[in-house]
Structures are given as structure tokens and as C-alpha cells.
Structure 1
Amino acid sequence: MTASTTRRSTAAKSRLAAVGALAVAGAVLLTACGNQTEEGSKKTGGESAAASKAPLFAKLPKSIQDSGVIKVGSDIAYAPVEFKDGSGKTVGIDPDIADALGKELGVKFEFQNGTFDTLITGLRSKRYDMAMSAMTDTKDRQEGVDSATGKKVGEGVDFVDYFTAGVSIYTRKGDDKGITTWADLCGKKIVVQRGTVSHDLAKAEDAKCQKAKKGKISIEAFDTDQQAQTRLRSGGADAGSSDFPVAAYAVQTSGGGKDFQLVGEQVDAAPYGIAVAKSNTQLRDALQAALDAIVKNGEYKKILDKWGVPAGAVTEAKINGGS
């Protein structure tokens, strides 16, 4: 993942969500509005029927009203935010929130899998209508800037912020190598998902370690967080780092809770945002209205409670609230 298109970061601060016991309650297939078919929207009178059933349908761009579908780019390998269950269905916090948004908007949210670092590029090429993938809302992403170089790499995106989370370090259980803070990683090896906030934090800490002559941090970056976990589990690294909800979920579930442990405190709180192309302000505003609606009607709270992440809740849908 490139620094400009990372999921959980790019010079950005990550997310803070006091994820308690992450209860994996039933796998939910992303269905959005089941009785709103694409054909119904295309037929004469279909739009008025959809509008009558979904209060915010009329706010959507005409092209989405006609298709009845919002195409969502997502790296579906980041449990519990988005992942495939045992039957291959896309489930998690993001799909459940999208399902609730779909009921307000009267359309289906269709998740399409892609590597995290290609999602913003997919928005620019109009492969996706939006990206929803535990993506941190940062100024660099808003402005299309590569955080590693400070150079403009493309058009920025707008974000509709919907959750807050932080970053954690985890190690093999019972083998923390004396690691409790990022500074303790000097001279050690860490595994991360490429282009994430964790990746950025590791690179920044490595620079500090080398300047202080405390030893280089060996950083191994992977396409997915699951690959990084596998590497750590096999003893190929000293530590791993992910967004707190993801790290806590891995600690709870991997090897029945016997593989990993969290070390130290979360760092760098920041919002997750739904990314939308700068030119698609109508969709952005429709998503903001839909998110505000599910916050108000209680559906949003039910979803976060279901996944054990209520402390990550937002009280309103802000646009470009990241820094």
C-alpha cells in the first residue's frame, strides 16, 4: 500500500476505540434494502416507490438511483471491521453499518474486495462509488498527498467520518520481548499491513531509534493484516501492530486466544471515514444524512454494541474531520 492510499493511515493518526470483549455475534450478509431491486429503480415509477420506502433515496445521485447499487471498495480481510465468515459472506462492523445506511437510502451497498492501497485509486477511476475499509480520515488523504514524501500524488477524497479508533502493538502470548511502548521496538522486528498507520508509526519510530543509535527497527509489511499475523505467529517477528479493534480481535480469536497478547496502550486516536471522490458531493452528503439518521434512530448503537465496540461511536457524521 502506498502512503497516499493507506487504509488505516498515511501519516495519519489512527483510531481509538475502547474495544472491550469483541463479541462475534452472528455473520450478517450485507443485504441493504432487499425489496429495492435494481430493476424496480429502472422501471417507470420505480424511483417514486423506492423514495416512498426510503426517506433519503431522493438525495442520491441519479445514476445510483437508477442502478439501485452503491459500489463499495474494501479490503475485506480486517476482522472484525470487515471480513469473510466461514461461508464466504462479507460481515463485520462496516458491512452492518452499510446495511443500515442502505435502508435509509433505499439502495444496496455492494462490497467489492481490493487491496487497501488500491482503494483510493479505484475511487479516482470510478471503479467504486465509495471506499469503506477502516480507512483513517487524514488531511493528507483529503488533499491527495503522500505523507512519506509530502508530494501531491493525485486528487484527494472527502470523508464521512463514522467511527473512532487507535493503534495497538501485540506480541506472541507470553513472549513480549520487553515491548510495552513503540520506543521498545528499537533493534527489533515488527510486522504490519502495508501503508497503514501502523506502518507509518513503525517507520517514524525507526527514524528515532537510528538517530538515537539504539538500533534499527526491521519492518516487514504485508498486503493484508492476516499475513502479518501469520508471520508473527510463526515466530518470524517480535511484534505486530494494527488498529486496536483488529488487534484486540486477533488476540481474542487467534488460536482460541492462545496466540497473541496486547502490550502497552493504544496511541494516535483518529476517525475512520467513508471515502468519496471530491467530485461526488451529492453522494457524500447523502451518506452523511443517512449516517446521522441511523445515529438518531439507534441502529448505529445496536451495531457497535453487537461487535463490542461502543466506545468508538461518533455522535454525528462529520465531513473531513481528520487531521
Structure 2
Amino acid sequence: MTTNSPRRLFAVKPRAATAAAVVVAGALLLGACGDQTKDDDKKEPAASAGSSKAAGSSLKDKLPAEIRDKGVIKVGSDIAYPPVEYKDKSGKVVGIDVDLAEALGKELGVRFEFQNATFDTLLTGLRSKRYDLAMSAMTDTADRQNGVDGDTGKKVGEGVDFVDYFTAGVSIYTPKGKTQGIKTWSDLCGKKIVLQRGTVSHDLAKAESKKCAGGKKIAIEAYDNDQQAQTRLRAGGGDAGSSDFPVAAWAVKTSGGGKDFELVGEQVEAAPYGIAIAKSNTRLRDAIKAAMDAIIANGEYDKVISKWGVEDGKVTEAAVNAGK
């Protein structure tokens, strides 16, 4: 992240291992994280003392000792971003990230415990060690890696490392049947957009507004979370909304039984989602990457991606700090 408020997305190119767009198709089902452990009991030949993997070791052995002892990884997340992470009608935390975390937990032999927070406080919480990692549809960017404020270019923190696991772009949506000819960001000049504060949608709106001719700037209303922005748009308080494509597509599909919104134009700024981890915690970073590669290899990753209908955003291997 790079501004005073962490951003889900930034203007970056997708890494080669990911698709350039995300397509949400079919019914989106609910999932939840569990408390399960799984030890790798496969016997391997003895390794030399200098080997990176000793005989009989497991992925759990890669974790920092304090996490192994507690059996819990604390996850900071903005749990108001369906279908990536949100609470279902019973109050249970569900979503793509939650299901992936459950699969990672099985490989690592620990439980992932999601803790709710506003998106713009997640990296601060990570730096203060309130969380072990942040997993919340957060885009891996060079600014976030380096702790640079994207608006000012100034250093604001030590930055974080990312384990990249998915890719997504950003979309615009409008009240259904009231598109007003909106197809691109430039079409928003002279109109009002509602969105979540600190996201790439917010950045794009501010950047585009500066380009608007004739004094017809974009009126921007930014909220703490995406659901608040959707509520405002449903009430007639804006001409358009914007968010990550999977989230925008979910809103279009589910809000008002599909009668409230419609997607307009093409998604832009396809970029990798990453799990954020403190730069000082390289042991946890490497363990998470190894576990992500493991669930990609054993098919559990594909099961989660297929369950939520977001196959075009999947990756073939995890990467560290691939965001640009």
C-alpha cells in the first residue's frame, strides 16, 4: 500500500502467471474457515544438514515458533467485501479468502482466525503486530512493498511483503437502466460516483477528475466500505459506483435480486491480490508461499476458485512481491 489508507488495487500490470481479467459466472456459494490440522506424514529420504528440507519435516515446521505453539494465524481483514470476505446471514465469515485460508491452514497445521477491521487500518495493524498477516483482496504494488504513499511519493512506513494468489481488475456499475451513457472513466466527468475510500476506484476517480474539461469535475463520495457505497447508490445518491470486478459483479448479481445495478464498460487495472506480511517475518512469508503452492498443486486451490466461479483470476503458482 502506498497512501495513508491502504488500497485494494493500484495501477499496476498483472504478472505473467495470472489471467488479465476475472469472470464471475454461475451461482456463488458460501464457504467458511475451519479449525483443522494436517501433518505431512510422507516419509522422505534423509537430507544433509545444509538441505532446506530435513527428513520428516512438514510445512508446519516452516512457521515461526510462536505461531506453531499457538496454533493460530491472526488475519486482519475488512469483512465487508463479498464475495471475497463477508458475513453470511447467520453472521459466519465466508468467502474466497476464507476458503483459501482454511485450505492453507490444513497444510500448515494451524487455524486462520479472521479479525474484522476497516480496510485502511489493516497495514497499520500489521505493523503493530495486531495481526500476523492481512488477507483482504489487497493488491500487491511496489508502493505498498516499499511503504510509499502513492499520492505524495513520500515514505510512510517500512512496507510489507506479499504472497500473490489471485488477480482482478476494477469495474464501474450504475443503477439498472440508468447508465447515462457511462462506459469509461472519462464518461464520469460532471457526474457523481460513490466508492470505498482508499481503493483503486478512489484513485482512478481522483485522477480522472483532474482531466475533466470545462470545470465538469467528478463528484466523489468515499465511504468506509463498499457496502455503504452500494447503499448510497441504491438510494439514488450517485450516478455510478466502482469496486473490484468480482465485488461489482457480485453486487450486480445479488442486490435486489439482480434488479438494482448493472455493469458498464470494461474492467481495468488487472493486478495481483496478495497476502500482506511484515518484511521482518520472512519465515511466515515463506511458509505461506509454500502452503499456497501446495494447495495449487494438490487441487484444493482450484476447488475454491471453481466454487466461487472466478476461474479466470486463478494463478498457477504463488509469487512473492510480483506487483509493479
TM-score by length of 1: 0.90
Alpha-carbon distance change, 133 to 164 in structure 1, aligned in 2, over 3 angstroms? same
Question: Within 1, Cα distance between the matches of 2:56 and 2:259?
Answer: 48
1:169, distance to aligned residue in structure 2 (A): 0.2
Match of residue 76, structure 1, among 79, 82, 97: 79
CA contact (8 A) 1:16 1:312 kept: yes
Tell me what 1:254 maps to. 255
Match of residue 193, structure 2, among 186, 190, 198: 190
Tell me what 2:68 maps to. 65
Instruction: Indicate yes or no: 2:113 matched with 1:110.
Output: yes
* Higher fraction of helix: 1
- Residue identity matched to 1:268: E
State, as a whole percentage, how many aligned pairs show the same letter: 71
Q: Find the residue that maps to 2:136 and give its secondary structure.
A: coil
Q: Aligned residues, how many?
A: 306
Question: Within 2, Cα distance between the matches of 1:68 and 1:13?
Answer: 36
For residues 149-188 of structure 1, what are the alpha-carbon distances to aligned partners after superposition, in whole Å with 9 as ceiling and x for unaligned?
A: 1111111000000000000000000000110000100010
Tell me what 1:295 maps to. 296
List aligned pairs for 1:1-323, cutoff 5 A: 3-10=3-10, 17-25=21-29, 27-33=30-36, 55-209=58-212, 212-213=213-214, 215-323=216-324
Q: Find the residue that maps to 1:71 and give its secondary structure.
A: strand
CA RMSD between the two structures: 2.1
CA contact (8 A) 1:187 1:218 kept: yes
TM-score by length of 2: 0.90
CA contact (8 A) 2:11 2:269 kept: no
For residues 83-120 of structure 1, what are the alpha-carbon distances to aligned partners after superposition, in whole Å with 9 as ceiling and x for unaligned?
A: 00011111000000000000100000000000000000
CA contact (8 A) 2:170 2:245 kept: yes
Question: Within 2, Cα distance between the matches of 1:135 and 1:53?
Answer: 35
1:13, distance to aligned residue in structure 2 (A): 6.3
CA contact (8 A) 1:294 1:300 kept: yes
1:6, distance to aligned residue in structure 2 (A): 2.0
Question: Within 1, Cα distance between the matches of 2:20 and 2:115?
Answer: 26
CA contact (8 A) 1:251 1:257 kept: yes
Question: Within 2, Cα distance between the matches of 1:133 and 1:113?
Answer: 10
The gaps in structure 2 that reach 5 residues or longer are: 40-54
CA contact (8 A) 1:6 1:194 kept: no
- Residue identity matched to 2:27: A
1:35, distance to aligned residue in structure 2 (A): 8.0
Question: Within 2, Cα distance between the matches of 1:16 and 1:78?
Answer: 21
Question: Within 1, Cα distance between the matches of 2:286 and 2:312?
Answer: 25
For residues 231-270 of structure 1, what are the alpha-carbon distances to aligned partners after superposition, in whole Å with 9 as ceiling and x for unaligned?
A: 0111100000000000000000000000000000010110
CA contact (8 A) 1:122 1:128 kept: yes
Q: Find the residue that maps to 1:152 and give its secondary structure.
A: coil
Question: Within 2, Cα distance between the matches of 1:53 and 1:96?
Answer: 28
Question: Within 2, Cα distance between the matches of 1:16 and 1:76?
Answer: 25
CA contact (8 A) 2:252 2:260 kept: yes
- Residue identity matched to 1:309: V
Question: Within 2, Cα distance between the matches of 1:16 and 1:229?
Answer: 26
For residues 30-50 of structure 1, what are the alpha-carbon distances to aligned partners after superposition, in whole Å with 9 as ceiling and x for unaligned?
A: 1141689xxxxxxxxxxxxxx
Q: Find the residue that maps to 2:233 and give its secondary structure.
A: helix
1:54, distance to aligned residue in structure 2 (A): 9.2
Question: Within 2, Cα distance between the matches of 1:3 and 1:217?
Answer: 21
CA contact (8 A) 2:78 2:136 kept: yes
CA contact (8 A) 1:16 1:266 kept: no
For residues 132-159 of structure 1, what are the alpha-carbon distances to aligned partners after superposition, in whole Å with 9 as ceiling and x for unaligned?
A: 0000101110011110111111110000
1:21, distance to aligned residue in structure 2 (A): 1.9
- Residue identity matched to 1:131: A
Question: Within 1, Cα distance between the matches of 2:133 and 2:208?
Answer: 32
CA contact (8 A) 1:191 1:231 kept: yes
For residues 184-229 of structure 1, what are the alpha-carbon distances to aligned partners after superposition, in whole Å with 9 as ceiling and x for unaligned?
A: 00010001100001111111111111xx335110010000000000
CA contact (8 A) 1:101 1:290 kept: yes
Q: Find the residue that maps to 2:231 and give its secondary structure.
A: helix
1:23, distance to aligned residue in structure 2 (A): 2.2
Question: Within 1, Cα distance between the matches of 2:118 and 2:314?
Answer: 26
1:7, distance to aligned residue in structure 2 (A): 3.6
Alpha-carbon distance change, 275 to 246 in structure 1, aligned in 2, over 3 angstroms? same
CA contact (8 A) 2:160 2:276 kept: yes
The gaps in structure 1 that reach 5 residues or longer are: 37-51
Alpha-carbon distance change, 54 to 190 in structure 1, aligned in 2, over 3 angstroms? farther
